[in-house]
Amino acid sequence: MTSPTSETSETTSLWSSAEWLSDAANWLDEQLTAAGIKRVGEVTQPRLKPWGTVLRADTERGAVWLKAPAPETVFEVPLYRLLASVVPQWVLDPIGVDVDRGWVLLPDGGPTLRERLGEPAGWSEALVSVLPQYGQLQLDLMPHAGDLLAAGVTDMRAAVMPARLDEALELTGRYAAGSGSEIAKEHHAWVSGQRAEFAARCADLPDRASLDHNDLHTNNVLGDPAGTVKFYDWGDSVLAHPFSSMLVALGSLARWLEVDPDDDLVRRPRDAYLEVFGNPADLLAELDLACWIGKVARALVWDRALRREPGEFAGAPLETLASLRMNSWLGAA
């Protein structure tokens, strides 16, 4: 067993201990044996971070990956089991799941969309095919909101978002006060003054709810966009209005391509996604509103991810909240 050097923390100390590594490797082997798969290589630990660790092993059928998320995102383990049951065509099928230990063993899914395509020039066309598949996944999951909550997915539906804004302001208030930055304090004060407006807009958002990946970009999509792809890395996901997923999916595309959200390179995949739900022209305002409200969920997801090691991204939750000043996030045709 080999392991890399990593930041010191309670979780990383546990995950790098000989006892934990031995137990995890034994469990990995047990799951492979039960599935009729033979391991042919050493178990290694290529990733060790405060928010999770990953073990890797080569088998006669290719590489396998054991993922152990930190407590803040351990819901990803039972979530994989649910997704494999409801939307198996769009997710990796776990070889083994141990909810009590917080471990999931996954097959290798091949290169990511970003690795497959290389330069961003082809990403827009690929997402024209990929995003409708993601939209169908969300549609199929809509009847399973209760199951998603039972798996541990955080509730970020419109009805609870005013209270979520208060949570976000509490944590960003501590950051602003301790940062010594007048800009941070001004940002926090401005968002604090938007509570009533935010609550009113939440009440205006149509009542749809599904799984929001919350970090959907080309590095979290596996497979050939000409066929059926797989979506993975669900540790940031929440239960929210489905359209809020486009906050990252289309926002990151616009940034990578250095174009405006109204550019055809963003509009085409946007409309392809919306067509799964209805007439895109009728849904643009709902998309904008869902993404605007989704910034609060995104801020809280940032905090969840950074809680064990804020580092250089410590200001990301407040920066995300401050972007509420952009009233129209993705634009309209």
Residue 36 sits in a domain whose CATH number is 3.30.200
Q: Let me know if residue 251 belongs to a domain.
A: yes
Q: Let me know if residue 162 belongs to a domain.
A: yes
Least confident of 6-10, 27-31, 115-119, 289-293: 6-10
Q: Check residue 10 and give its pLDDT.
A: 77
Q: 133-170 burial, b for 16+ CB within 10 Å, e for fewer?
A: bbbbbbebbeebbeebeebebbbbbbebbbebbeebbe
Residues 107-127, mean pLDDT to the nearest whole number: 94
Same-domain check for residues 148 and 257: yes
Same-domain check for residues 188 and 292: yes
Give the separation between CA 220 and CA 326, rounded to whole angstroms.
Answer: 26
Q: What is the CATH number of the domain that holds 200?
A: 3.90.1200
How far apart are the two ends of the chain, measured CA to CA in Å? Answer: 54
Q: Let me know if residue 145 belongs to a domain.
A: yes
pLDDT confidence bin for 315, thresholds 50/70/90: confident
Q: Are 77 and 102 in contact (CB under 8 A)?
A: yes
pLDDT confidence bin for 330, thresholds 50/70/90: low
Provide the whole-model pTM.
0.91
Q: Which of 84, 107, 130 is the last residue of a domain?
A: 107
Same-domain check for residues 91 and 118: no
Q: Which domain holds residue 42?
A: 10-107
State pLDDT tens for residues 154-164.
999 999 999 99
Q: Are 210 and 139 in contact (CB under 8 A)?
A: yes
Same-domain check for residues 130 and 42: no
Same-domain check for residues 210 and 303: yes
Q: Which of 333, 298, 291 is nearest to 318 (CA)?
A: 298
Give 229 or 11, the one with higher predicted confidence: 229
Q: Let me know if residue 330 belongs to a domain.
A: no
State pLDDT tens for residues 223-239.
999 999 999 999 999 99
pLDDT confidence bin for 124, thresholds 50/70/90: very high
State pLDDT tens for residues 59-101.
999 999 999 999 999 999 999 999 999 999 999 999 999 999 9
Q: Let me know if residue 5 belongs to a domain.
A: no
Give the separation between CA 316 and CA 308, rounded to whole angstroms.
Answer: 14
Of all residues in the chain, the percent with pLDDT exceeding 70 is 94
Q: Are 113 and 130 in contact (CB under 8 A)?
A: yes
Q: Which of 107, 141, 172 is the last residue of a domain?
A: 107
Same-domain check for residues 60 and 140: no
State yes or no: pLDDT of 333 exceeds 80: no
Same-domain check for residues 189 and 226: yes
pLDDT confidence bin for 307, thresholds 50/70/90: confident
Same-domain check for residues 46 and 168: no
Q: Which of 6, 116, 112, 20 is nearest to 51 (CA)?
A: 6
pLDDT confidence bin for 328, thresholds 50/70/90: low
Q: Let me know if residue 137 belongs to a domain.
A: yes
Same-domain check for residues 131 and 230: yes
Residues 46-53, mean pLDDT to the nearest whole number: 91
Same-domain check for residues 101 and 237: no
Q: Which of 136, 100, 145, 107 is nearest to 28 (CA)?
A: 107
User: Which residues are within 8 A (CB) of 1 and not within 5 positions of it... i.e. 6 or more apart?
Assistant: 18, 21, 22, 25, 42, 43, 44, 45
Q: Let me know if residue 1 belongs to a domain.
A: no
Same-domain check for residues 52 and 99: yes
Q: Let me know if residue 2 belongs to a domain.
A: no
Same-domain check for residues 34 and 135: no
| C-beta pairs of 192-198 under 8 Å, 24+ apart in sequence | 194/324, 195/162, 195/165, 195/166, 198/161, 198/162, 198/165, 198/293, 198/296, 198/324
Q: Which of 83, 107, 131 is the last residue of a domain?
A: 107
Number of independent structural domains in the chain: 2
